[in-house]
Amino acid sequence: MKLKQAQSLKTKLSPTLKSWFPILQSSTLDLEEVLEEFTKENPFIEIQSNIQESLPNASSPTKPMYKNNVNSKKYMSEKIESMSIYEKSLYELLENQILPPLFPTPISQQIALKIIDDINEDGYFEGDINEIAIFFNVDFSVVEQIRTRFSKINPSGIAALNPIESMIFQLEDYNISDELYDLSFEIIKNLNNHKKYAKNPLYNDSMKIISRMKIPPALDYFPKDSQIIPDIFINLTSDGFEVNLNDSYYPDIFINKTALNSKNIHIKDKLKEGRDLIDALSMRKSTIKKIGLMLLEYQYDFFIGGDIKPLKLKDIAKELGHSPSTISRAVANKYIECNRGIYPIKTFFTTAITEETSNTSIKDFILECVKLEDKKNPLSDIKILEMVEDKFKVKIVRRTITKYRKQLNIGSSSERKRLYEVEL
């Protein structure tokens, strides 16, 4: 009896599940192709593409067009404006700004151009200040002074060493009171504990400013040769954050109405396949929207400028009543667009060191420490451990630091010292 019930249940769920998992896992660009696989032998299902209409409006992978956003008219206006302004490459734009009075002397201009050479595609400076100083036979402080002058040019936040410094650079662009500036500066320096400033009457104004900052600073200048379509939009509005599903690229599925009243068993099966397909597409939309809502709740600090917190697939799976493998399918090949840029959804799932700290944050900090270390006296793993424990208020062991360092392809302190000596 039990075996019979199990077989019956499996038969009942099979058509939906066969459609559900491939449709859930596919990217938005591949969705139409996946749906068409289910309709090849079904003449009663028609798929109408919307991607051809939507793609011409989405010329930039960082700012795709969508129909259902309440601010779509304003968005299109900004889109047209951005297409007019950002014709030059990031590096051409920067080079054109290396002029007096900001860079008054030939040597300051040459150093500034060298700094531009060492700005990565995200807009951060990843060169070596000491190396530049030696090359131009000037003091370290001279090069650093010239680098910080980049805070006065566009795009705002460029040539910073890290996201925090970039946000401080960008803060300079706001015409705000000294009180609001000082508070915003303090919050940026202490983003992990920003809520301790919540009682300040200027706190909300400060958080609005911070949430509008672009991280990474070169966000508007990312290459346009590949099309990235976000699946979820998390927008900051006057009433708070709003989560929208980007369904303007989704194809429409139609069932041939002339066959609806037919008594032919074969036709009925084909019609049921069509309804299962529509249900599966609807389930995809619903699941992805729910994941967006959950990510906003769990990673709220990130969306206002803070760090990504530890989060596991099973945490979301438990909340939504799905298995972790289903959530893994749901986030595969999917993206979120927010005020800080476009991110793969999988970025928001990281391993926990403690409840508040992810291993990603630790690795980023280690990378930053090594980048800024004294080249004559590189940091040992023990010293990095002390810095990590002081920064994140956690207790970990030295071998964890060693493991993370190796994962980042960073040599030991002795290896780095030998490398620095060769470079010098």
Q: Structure pTM?
A: 0.47
Q: Are 297 and 309 in contact (CB under 8 A)?
A: no
State the Cα–Cα distance between residues 276 and 44, nearest whole angstrom.
13
Alpha carbon distance 206, 336 (integer Å): 24
R_g of the chain computed on alpha carbons = 26
**Contact criterion met (CB below 8 Å) for 166 and 124:** yes
DSSP 352: B
pLDDT at 80 over 60: no
pLDDT band at 59 (very low <50, low <70, confident <90, very high): very low
Residue whose tokens read 């100083």? 133
More confident residue, 294 or 6: 294
Please write the tens of the pLDDT for every residue from 224-279.
545 678 999 998 888 889 999 998 888 888 887 665 565 665 777 887 888 888 88
Helix (H, G, I), strand (E, B) or coil at 59: coil
Identify the residue with better confidence: 55 or 347.
Answer: 347
HSE-up (13 A, CA, CB side) for residue 131: 15
| Among 199-208, 235-244, 324-333, 372-381, the least confident range | 324-333
- Tell me what percent of the residues of the chain surpass a pLDDT of 90: 27
pLDDT on residue 64:
33
Q: How far apart are CA 121 and CA 297, in angstroms?
A: 30
Spans of all domains in the chain: 90-211, 227-350, 359-423
Banded model confidence at residue 88, pLDDT cuts 50, 70, 90 = low
Q: Is the pLDDT confidence value at 320 over 60? A: yes
Give the model confidence (pLDDT) of 374-420 as tens digits.
988 999 888 999 999 888 887 887 888 888 888 788 888 888 887 77
* Cβ–Cβ under 8 Å, residues 162 and 368: yes
SS3 of 358, please?
strand
DSSP codes of every residue in 100-135: TTTS-SHHHHHHHHHHHHTB-TTSBB-S-HHHHHHH
What pLDDT, on the 0 to 100 scale, is given for residue 358? 66
